[in-house]
């Protein structure tokens, strides 16, 4: 299997289980891959590009470290970072029914996907949830977009912190 930016972490670890230790050595965040529940769930959705944001690495750096470990030649990344808006959406000012801290959930060995899906199911059309994290939650954003949610990611109050507003449509 060739390792690419869109390779799912689950598929990577299934094909190359020895890369688990490499991932864990790259970022303390990747230690969560030792949690069997998180490993079975989040890794199925998260591409290496998305996982790079969680670990604080560029997609190109993460992919090329993994490729080097198994003898594949480096790739260059032509895609730009996931969009971070500079404009606060007018619809986010009202009706924020819930605030979720994805960073804290991961630290508590909980799955932000599961929590967000539970909250989203209970939301009414037009209601907004705020997801805060110290990484861009791109797998979760992609999943919410599949549900037709309206999403805006903003830089948060702290450095390297993000506020993701999700409105049920």
| 72-102 confidence digits (pLDDT tens) | 999 988 775 567 788 888 887 755 668 899 9
DSSP assignments along 16-51, one per residue: -TTHHHHHHHH-GGGGGGGSHHHHHHHHHH-BHHHH
The per-residue pLDDT for range 107-163, each reduced to its tens digit, is: 888 888 889 999 999 999 989 999 999 888 888 888 898 999 999 998 887 777 889
pTM: 0.70
Kindly list the distances between the CA atom of residue 155 and the CA atoms of 29, 86, 133, 136, in Å, as whole numbers in the listed order. 20, 8, 10, 10
The per-residue pLDDT for range 1-30, each reduced to its tens digit, is: 999 999 999 999 999 999 999 999 999 889
Cross-strand bridge partners of residue 151: 166
How many residues make up the chain in this entry?
A: 169
Of residues 62, 60, 4, the one with CA closest to residue 29: 62
Distance from C-alpha of 54 to C-alpha of 81, rounded to nearest angstrom? 13
Q: Residues with Cβ < 8 Å from 23, sequence gap 6 or more?
A: 9, 30, 33, 55, 66
Give the single-character DSSP code of 8.
B
Is the separation of the CB atoms in 135 and 168 below 8 Å? Answer: no
**Distance, CA of 141 to chain centre:** 7
Q: Show the domains of the chain with their CATH numbers.
A: 9-69 (no CATH), 90-167 (3.30.110.40)
């Amino acid at each position: 299997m060739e390792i690419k930016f869109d390779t799912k972490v689950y598929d990577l670890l299934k094909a190359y289980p020895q890369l688990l230790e490499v991932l864990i050595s790259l970022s303390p965040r990747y230690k969560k891959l030792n949690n069997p529940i998180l490993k079975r769930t989040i890794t199925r959705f998260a591409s290496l590009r998305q996982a790079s944001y969680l670990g604080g690495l560029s997609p190109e750096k993460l992919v090329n470290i993994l490729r080097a470990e198994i003898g594949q030649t480096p790739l260059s990344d032509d895609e730009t970072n996931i969009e971070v808006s500079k404009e606060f959406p007018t619809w986010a000012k009202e009706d924020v029914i819930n605030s979720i801290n994805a960073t804290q959930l991961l630290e508590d060995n909980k799955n932000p996907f599961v929590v967000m899906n539970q909250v989203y199911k209970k939301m009414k059309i037009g209601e907004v949830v705020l997801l805060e994290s110290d990484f861009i939650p791109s797998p979760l954003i992609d999943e919410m977009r599949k549900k037709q949610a309206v999403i805006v990611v903003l830089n948060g109050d702290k450095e390297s912190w993000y506020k993701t507003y999700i409105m049920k449509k």
